[in-house]
Amino acid sequence: QYDTNMWGDRNTMVHLFEWKWNDIADECERFLQYKGYGGVQVSPVNENAIVTSGTYRPWWERYQPISYNLVTRSGNEQEFSNMVRRCNNVGVRIYVDVVFNHMTGNSGTVYGTGGSIGYSDSKYYPAVPYGSNDFNSDCGITNYNDAINVRNCELVGLRDLNQGSTYVRTTILAFLNKLINLGVAGFRVDAAKHMWPGDLEVIYAGLNNLNTDHGFASGARPYIFQEVIDLGGEAVSFNEYTHLGAVTEFKYSAEIGRVFHGYDQLTWLSNWGEGWGFMASEYAFIFVDNHDNQRGHGAGGSNILTYKNAKQYKMAIAFMLAHPYGSTRVMSSFYFDDTEAGPPADSNGNIISPGINADETCSNGWVCEHRWRQIYNMVGFKNAVKGTSLNDWWSNGAQQIAFCRGGSGFVAFSNGGTIAQNMQTCLPAGTYCDVISGNLINGACTGKTVTVGDNGYGYISLSDSEDDGVLAVHINARL
């Protein structure tokens, strides 16, 4: 289902990739609630196989389940449960990345983060338990033009569960319903493309309603967003999944990156959304980058913008959060050069917590894009304009655009050249703080201001030499 179950006007989640549960609980209380984030996507919660690669544990070991016990490098069940409670208490929902297409790779005897053992060559995972007849055959995925191959064979050698089996379905459902009872609001369904929609339908239908003890409305259903990489031209289409819940729109990520890299002109964004061949907005789950494609995994290749191209990245995020299309997720990363390396960890492999600097940014190897002013203030912008549509589109015919969101927000972008002119902001008369160049603190703006007259016009100044190519004002940032 498509309702995120977020509080009030909140309507963006952040992926706190590889964060520990205790740190996420702290982040909900000290930061996310105040900036208007509506939820957190957390890394997989169930026990995974430990993979050691040279000096580190790769981030992708978490995509190799060995049991459904809630013990990972992010913490144990008690810590997870406490986190969900603490975040829900401040109106920040938790969405779990659930991996049930497969178990571990085929690499002999494997050991898990909770002490479990698995025998991947004989497909025996006693801590679940799963045995060889719960799995599809040993074939590898080799042909994306063949849906049977894509769904019934092994993705990069990962032991492929047969979700057509009643026992497998029941076991997966017990895991998902346990998470619902602990208070989560929904799921990112990993590798949904590699599972049959009919099987997923049965599984979703067996999910419990959300736990009313955590503030969810009676009868509320879990939000489902399914990871289906479909850039076109393959046997499996996103269309097969949209009746079941939201679906990742990977074309969005690739195209927005291409545009803000400067490979296309902003003026062509005038029909952004379905007009660019994306799925219908109501189904689309969108992001500028995700944990895979920011490091060359998944889809999108060199088009993808990340924290490494900070100015263009912030512009793309601002555009995503200013525009009404889709359901949005902000990425929050750790620094990396090696695309396989895991999160900051000590010599025993324990994840190191992010440090928090006086200026709100992070240390200890964490990027914390979600703490960048330009990003969290656009989360606030998106909350302020919720329910409005896009109007008063303006463009210089090249790399400059501007638009309003009803009478609640106005945003301007320049990816080349300076804007200096009166523009229709659609806002009531008054003086507004540009939430990109500054913050509104105790009634004063630390950045640029825009004064809007009775006719809605204001003088917009956005020079090429500024740190950011965006100006954004909204109804909740009025002086």
**Which residues of the chain form contacts with ligand LM2 (CB under 6 A)?**
60-61, 63-64, 99, 105, 107, 155-158, 190-191, 227, 292, 297
What minimum distance in Å lies between the beta carbon of 196 and Ca ion? 8
| 190 interacts with, out of Ca ion, ligand LM2, none, CB within 5 to 8 A per kind | ligand LM2
| 336 interacts with, out of Ca ion, ligand LM2, none, CB within 5 to 8 A per kind | none
Distances from the Cα of 359 to the Cα of 281, 355, 363, angstroms? 36, 12, 11
Our CB check for Ca ion shows the closer of 103 and 179 to be: 103
Chain centre to alpha carbon of residue 240: 21
What minimum distance in Å lies between the beta carbon of 299 and ligand LM2? 10
Our CB check for Ca ion shows the closer of 47 and 160 to be: 160
Our CB check for ligand LM2 shows the closer of 104 and 408 to be: 104
Name every residue whose Cβ is closer than 8 Å to that of residue 217 and which is 6 or more positions away in sequence: 5, 210
Amino acid identity of residue 256, one-letter, is I
Q: Respond yes or no: is residue 190 known to be catalytic.
A: yes
Name every residue whose Cβ is closer than 8 Å to that of residue 171 and which is 6 or more positions away in sequence: 68, 128, 130
| 60 interacts with, out of ligand LM2, Ca ion, none, CB within 5 to 8 A per kind | ligand LM2
- Of 18, 97, 134, 190, the catalytic one is 190
- Residue 475 · residue 409 · CB < 8 Å: yes
What minimum distance in Å lies between the beta carbon of 194 and Ca ion? 4
Of the candidate spans 12-20, 48-56, 96-104, 222-230, the one that interacts with Ca ion by CB under 5 A turns out to be 96-104
Strand duo 409-414 + 400-405: pairing: antiparallel
What minimum distance in Å lies between the beta carbon of 118 and ligand LM2? 12
Our CB check for ligand LM2 shows the closer of 43 and 399 to be: 43
What minimum distance in Å lies between the beta carbon of 161 and ligand LM2? 12
Q: Give CA–CA dist 324/382, Å, rounded.
A: 8
Among 26, 47, 134, 160, binds Ca ion (CB under 5 A): 160
Of the candidate spans 152-160, 302-310, 378-386, 397-405, the one that interacts with Ca ion by CB under 5 A turns out to be 152-160
Our CB check for ligand LM2 shows the closer of 60 and 196 to be: 60
Phi, psi values for residue 145, rounded to 5°: -95, 5
Of the candidate spans 52-60, 147-155, 219-227, 352-360, the one that interacts with Ca ion by CB under 5 A turns out to be 147-155
Our CB check for Ca ion shows the closer of 135 and 403 to be: 135
190 binds Ca ion (CB under 5 A): no
Among 20, 86, 194, 448, binds Ca ion (CB under 5 A): 194
Q: Which residues of 146-168 are buried (b: 16+ CB within 10 A; e: fewer)?
A: ebeebbbbbbeebbbbbbebeeb
Q: Give CA–CA dist 6/321, Å, rounded.
A: 16
Q: Give CA–CA dist 129/66, Å, rounded.
A: 10
Nearest to 271 by CA among 375, 403, 421: 403
What minimum distance in Å lies between the beta carbon of 72 and ligand LM2? 13
- Of 18, 160, 227, 289, the catalytic one is 227
Our CB check for ligand LM2 shows the closer of 49 and 390 to be: 49
Dihedral, CA of residue 279, residue 285, residue 288 and residue 294, to nearest 10: -110
Report how many residues bind Ca ion under the rule CB under 5 A: 4
- Residue 113 · residue 172 · CB < 8 Å: no
Query: Is the alpha carbon torsion for 468, 473, 474, 476 positive or negative?
Result: positive
What minimum distance in Å lies between the beta carbon of 65 and ligand LM2? 9
Q: For the CA atoms of the chain, what is the radius of gyration?
A: 23
Distances from the Cα of 368 to the Cα of 27, 230, 331, angstroms? 11, 28, 8
| 255 interacts with, out of ligand LM2, Ca ion, none, CB within 5 to 8 A per kind | none
Q: Give CA–CA dist 187/176, Å, rounded.
A: 9
Phi, psi values for residue 410, rounded to 5°: -140, 140
Which residues sit at the interface with Ca ion, rule CB under 5 A? Answer: 101, 151, 160, 194
Query: Which residues form the catalytic set?
Result: 190, 227
